[in-house]
Amino acid sequence: MKAKVYVTLKKSIADPQGFAIKGALNKMGYGKIEDVRIGKLIELDLGDVTKEEADEQLKTMCEKLLANTVIEQYEYEILV
Amino acid sequence: MKAKVYVTLKKSIADPQGFAIKGALNKMGYGKIEDVRIGKLIELDLGDVTKEEADEQLKTMCEKLLANTVIEQYEYEILV
């Protein structure tokens, strides 16, 4: 069972990395770019588990390890 | 026009960060996990551009700045 987790900074949190990349893209000539935000993509092979187990495990993994829920939010999708 | 870019290491490239997280998850009791790979999620607001312009811009941005195409691969989706 495979899954993808998307961890991003909460909207209220400044993203200096995204800001720096926006500046670089603007210099490359993409002046219309209004915002760039950087997050993490985590691809997991959960092994031999059911969809229900995968759902439960992913929630706990995100809450405990993969996301810092003080400043980050997360989403995940289970790939059948 | 908004878009999401997913940058991941090519399969042939080792991912020490993913390996370390796999170890931590195994210690948390998720022994069945077979693989963890870490990538970048880049969320962009491209401003007032057409879908065709967005597609062209994203390809160039990825090739020139957002992805190191020697060791990374990328995908992107344009969100209408």
What pLDDT, on a 0 to 100 scale, did the predictor assign at position B14? 96
Nearest to B47 among A34, A39, A43 (CB): A34
Closest Cα in chain B, distance from residue A68 (Å): 14
Nearest to B25 among A7, A24, A65 (CB): A65
Burial track B5-31 (b if 16+ CB lie within 10 A, e otherwise): bbbbbeeeeebeebeebbeebeeeebe
Evaluate whether A41 touches B38 at the Cβ level (below 8 Å). Answer: yes
What pLDDT, on a 0 to 100 scale, did the predictor assign at position A80? 74
What pLDDT, on a 0 to 100 scale, did the predictor assign at position B80? 74
Is A78 part of the contact surface with chain B (CB cutoff 8 Å)?
no
Task: Name the token pair of A15.
Answer: 């993203």
> ipTM beyond 0.90?
yes
Q: Write out pLDDT tens, residues B20-66.
A: 999 999 999 999 999 999 999 999 999 999 999 999 999 999 999 99
pLDDT at B12 over 80: yes
Chosen CATH of A2-79 out of 3.30.420.40, 3.30.1280.10, 1.10.40.30, 1.10.8.870:
3.30.1280.10
Please name every residue paired with A73 in a beta bridge, in sequence order, or none if there are none: A8
pLDDT at A58 over 80: yes
